[in-house]
């Protein structure tokens, strides 16, 4: 059992920084440069393609971490299950809702507010997930 705990800790200590680093790189380097480097139509197509994949990638890694953290503290595992569910929620619902509002050609002020609120929610979830993962990494 001790051998499995040591192996799981090594996996956790690799996967958490790997995931957090990937998400930060995407947020700081990839996403902002899409709108600078591509025309609006191509940027929109790229963003709509990449975000669901990013959320799936992050969900799979975070759910794996959640399973490995069970042996190191149930609270850490619960935190990672919550983080995982945030990625899944974003992939299955939030991206669609944001795209639906974004697709409206002539937006009313209410629709603009809705878009800003949904986008802000996605950013808030994303930042909260990164903070939670970082805290667990330094506590485990």
Give per-residue pLDDT as tens, 6-53: 999 999 999 999 999 999 999 999 999 998 999 999 999 999 999 999
| Sign of the torsion formed by the C-alpha atoms of 120, 121, 126 and 129 | positive
* Alpha-carbon gap, residue 137 to 135, rounded angstroms: 5
| Digit-coded pLDDT (tens) for 92-139 | 999 999 999 999 999 999 999 999 999 999 999 999 999 999 999 999
Residues 132 and 15: beta-carbon distance below 8 Å: no
67-86 per-position pLDDT tens digit: 999 989 999 999 999 999 99
Residue numbers of the domain that contains 25:
2-139
Total number of domains constituting the chain: 1
Give the mean pLDDT of the chain: 95
pLDDT recorded at residue 2: 76
Alpha carbons 71 and 85: distance in angstroms, whole number: 20
């Amino acid at each position: 059992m001790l051998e499995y705990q040591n192996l799981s800790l090594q996996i956790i200590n690799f996967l958490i920084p790997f995931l957090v680093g990937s998400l930060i790189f995407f947020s700081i380097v990839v996403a902002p440069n899409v709108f600078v480097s591509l025309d609006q139509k191509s940027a929109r197509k790229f963003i709509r393609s990449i975000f669901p994949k990013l959320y799936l990638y992050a969900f799979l890694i975070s759910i794996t971490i959640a399973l490995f953290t069970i042996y190191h503290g149930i609270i850490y595992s619960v935190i990672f299950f919550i983080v995982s569910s945030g990625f899944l929620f974003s992939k299955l619902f939030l991206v669609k809702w944001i795209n639906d509002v974004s697709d409206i050609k002539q937006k009313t002020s209410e629709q603009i507010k809705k878009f800003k609120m949904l986008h802000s929610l996605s950013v808030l979830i994303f930042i909260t997930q990164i903070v939670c993962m970082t805290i667990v990494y330094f506590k485990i």
